[in-house]
Structure 1
Amino acid sequence: MDRHTPQQRSKNMSAVKSTGTKAEVCLGKALWQLGLRYRKNNKTVFGKPDFTFKKYKIAVFVDSEFFHGKDWDTKKKPATNAAFWLKKISRNIERDKEVNAYLQSNGWTVLRFWSKEVNKNLTGCVGLIAEAIDKAAGKI
């Protein structure tokens, strides 16, 4: 049973962002401060990554734990509207795999981070991205 009225639930869900989340903003600011220039949500790259470094063929995704199914096999499933959420999150996981496979088969390096991982270890995430750029640029 949902604790909220349908109007309240609709208002809550409409406030969920697909782009510009706190983790994405923090990561973007940290990359920019290092002088790493990127494109946000580039529609010309398959899967519309959160950050793209097209010159180096690097795509970076920052995924939310709930909507992209972190620990989906072991985690407790949603009780409210379960059929919808099972279908939605399973499809998101499947789509993430398809995007990874497509980009990698076309020579892209794909980096995926969980939003909590970015929040807890921003310097580590930035370091991995910088390392991937250095490797692609032939510096490593």
Structure 2
Amino acid sequence: MKRRSPAALNELVSKQMSAMPTRNTGTELALRRALHQLGLRFRIQDRSLPGRPDVVFTRARIAVFVDGCFWHKCPTHGTAPKNNSEWWLAKLNENVARDRRNDSKLLELGWLPVHVWEHEDPDVSAESIKALWRERTDTTARHRPSSGCR
């Protein structure tokens, strides 16, 4: 049974929460721009994958999630509202648990889940993602004969 949201503290808070974007946030757009500038091409908001990743690299099987510090309990910047604190704690904990379940499902399907915090530099994140993309699409490394030495 889904828990109903508690009443907002006031009308201003209600409007602020309703106005929160769920996709195409400034952070997502900055990351996508940085990825595109690095020559990477991708899909966005793929509904066929668990958790509907924000950015998807189908060939490399990488699913990127841009996590908001509030909604996903960033250990550095995450905050908890004082009003209705018990409800919010349960809600935010469930968000984190859902993220972990979706990561597990993606791994079972052969996908690599990658999480980027909204406070992280999009250019740095894009470089890291490009390195992962190269690792996962490097066909020469997979077809190189093994020398038997490690």
Bigger Rg, which one: 2
Deviation by residue 1:74-130 (Cα, 9 ceiling, x = unmatched):
x7642111122111100001001101111112111111010001xxx2222111110
Gaps of 5+ in 2: 1-7, 142-150
Deviation by residue 1:38-77 (Cα, 9 ceiling, x = unmatched):
11111011110010011211000110111101129xx764
Higher helix share: 1
Structure 1 equivalent of residue 16 of structure 2: 12
TM-score (norm 1): 0.86
The 2-side partners of 1:104 and 1:32 are apart by: 25
Structure 1 equivalent of residue 51 of structure 2: 47
Deviation by residue 1:4-56 (Cα, 9 ceiling, x = unmatched):
86322221111111111111000011111222111111101111001001121
Classify 1:138/1:90 alpha carbon distance in 2 versus 1 (closer, same or farther; 3 Å).
same
The CA RMSD measured in Å over matched residues stands at: 1.9
Alignment of 1:81 with 2:103, yes or no, is no
Structure 2 equivalent of residue 23 of structure 1: 27
Q: Secondary structure at the match of 1:110?
A: strand
Q: Secondary structure at the match of 2:115?
A: strand
Structure 1 equivalent of residue 119 of structure 2: 116
Instruction: Map 1:53-92 onto structure 2 (within 5 A).
Output: 53-71=57-75, 77-92=80-95
Structure 2 equivalent of residue 100 of structure 1: 103
Q: Secondary structure at the match of 1:56?
A: coil
The 2-side partners of 1:95 and 1:5 are apart by: 27
